[in-house]
Amino acid sequence: MINLFRKREPDKAIMVAAAIAFTALAFIIYTMFFDILIPGLPDGSYRQAVGALFAIPAFLLAGGQTLIAGFFLHALTHLYKGRQPAYYKAAFITAVMTLMFSFTYVIFPNFGPFYYIVFAVGGPDYALPVEIFWTLFTIGVGTYLTRRIYGIAYPQAALSIALVLLGITVAAS
């Protein structure tokens, strides 16, 4: 009988491939929904002004969020565990979080994950509760993965993931 609930180490190749796939999905979402608003451009939209070349900043955003947040999580886990864990594990976790963060642009295509803008653009009443729920859900998934992969205590994992999500959010703003 196969025990599906036993703790086993995920395969490195699978985690790397999944991290690349999740980052690629985030890139696709960013090219479709993300925009850089710059006063003085037509409709203030950088995406409209540069057309297909917008893929470059979208690629830099998705890749940067995954890689830089991955380095940050990698350093934090090293502090907690006292040994140098493999970077690909941190990259996998941050790729999942980057993808989940990018989904807020799909949920709210007019203003993305920045709920404080909702009130300026007349967003729906449900925007703030959905933003809060999605943020907590993202932190929960990241915390679970961090605890499962690294074996870090819950408070350390939750704090690390909250800081990583903060970095991902700042990169998009």
Every domain of the chain and the residues it spans: 12-172
**Does residue 4 surpass a pLDDT of 60?**
no
Residue 107 pLDDT class (50, 70, 90 cuts): confident
| pLDDT value of position 145 | 95
Calculate mean pLDDT across residues 98-105.
93
Q: Please state which of the ranges 14-18, 22-26, 42-46, 73-77 shows the lowest mean pLDDT.
A: 42-46
Amino acid identity of residue 104, one-letter, is T
| pLDDT value of position 97 | 96
| pLDDT value of position 119 | 60
| pLDDT value of position 28 | 95
**Does residue 112 surpass a pLDDT of 90?**
no
**Structure tokens of 45?**
């939209």
Q: What is the 3-state secondary structure (H, E, C) of the chain?
A: CCCCCCCCCCCHHHHHHHHHHHHHHHHHHHHHHCCCECCCCHHHEHHHHHHHHHHHHHHHHHHHHHHHHHHHHHHHHHHHHCCCCCHHHHHHHHHHHHHHHHHHHHHCCCCCCCHHHHHHHCCCCCHHHHHHHHHHHHHHHHHHHHHHHHCCCHHHHHHHHHHHHHHHHHHHC
Residue 1 pLDDT class (50, 70, 90 cuts): very low
pTM for the predicted model, two decimal places: 0.85
| pLDDT value of position 109 | 76
